[in-house]
């Protein structure tokens, strides 16, 4: 009995250190693109990734232009933006995948990868967004999606590193500094 107490006391004195270990990695997920093709996040290993939930009829919709500018400047071998259309906030993304793709291309010249429309909150939240928003899954933080154009930053090793609120410009100095920092 005294050994059990001793072990319990030692565990209390030396708590487990570090982050929670995620049950799955960002790279374990696959999704459908807006063109209904399979897309595995494992293809993004070694790149910084910005995951953004988007909507075509939102006050933040002009951020598509800033996202495209950011993608043209930094995208390629080291960085990618992944857009996820979602209709979770005041029905601001009512269109079909085809309508969304046309809207993005015609109005904002979007060339960064757009995925099929999903849910980013609620009972039908997509598994990728379950991982992004749950510390128990991502090992870093809980981060409820507040509105359209919330940005999740993933490092080259597939770790969630930050969440940028919806109203913050994709071209914010904090994001640009993160992209320019190659020491991560």
Domain with 153 in it: 21-180
Residue 8 resides in a domain: no
Q: In the annotation, is 58 catalytic?
A: yes
Residue 6 resides in a domain: no
How do residues 61-111 score in pLDDT, each as one tens digit?
Answer: 999 999 999 999 999 899 999 999 999 999 999 999 999 999 999 999 999
Residue 92 resides in a domain: yes
Residue 29 resides in a domain: yes
Count of domains for the chain = 1
Residue 5 resides in a domain: no
CATH code where residue 127 lies: 3.40.30.10
Catalytic residue among 58, 141, 176, 179: 58
Distance CA 40, CA 69 (A): 24
Residue 117 resides in a domain: yes
- The pair phi, psi for residue 164, each rounded to 5°, is -110, 125
Alpha-carbon distances of 82 from 16, 30, 75, rounded to whole Å: 34, 12, 11
Whole-model pTM?
Answer: 0.86
Residue 51 resides in a domain: yes
Residue 90 resides in a domain: yes
- Residue count of the chain: 184
How do residues 77-87 score in pLDDT, each as one tens digit?
Answer: 999 999 999 99
Residue 148 has pLDDT above 90, yes or no: yes
């Amino acid at each position: 009995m005294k050994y059990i107490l001793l072990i319990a006391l030692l565990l209390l004195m030396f708590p487990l250190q570090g982050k929670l270990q995620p049950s799955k990695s960002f790279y374990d997920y696959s999704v459908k693109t807006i063109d209904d093709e399979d897309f595995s996040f494992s293809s993004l290993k070694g790149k910084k990734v910005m995951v953004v939930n988007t909507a075509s009829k939102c006050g933040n919709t002009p951020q598509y232009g800033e996202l495209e500018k950011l993608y043209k400047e930094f995208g390629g071998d080291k960085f990618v933006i992944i857009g996820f259309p979602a209709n979770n906030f005041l029905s601001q993304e009512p269109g079909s995948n085809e309508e969304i793709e046309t809207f993005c291309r015609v109005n904002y010249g979007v060339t960064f990868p757009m995925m099929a429309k999903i849910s980013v909150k609620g009972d039908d939240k997509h598994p990728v967004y379950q991982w992004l928003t749950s510390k128990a899954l991502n090992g870093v933080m809980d981060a409820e999606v507040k509105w359209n154009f919330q940005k999740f930053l993933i490092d080259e090793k597939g770790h969630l590193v930050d969440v940028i609120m919806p109203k913050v410009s994709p071209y914010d100095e904090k994001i640009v500094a993160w992209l320019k920092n190659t020491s991560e």
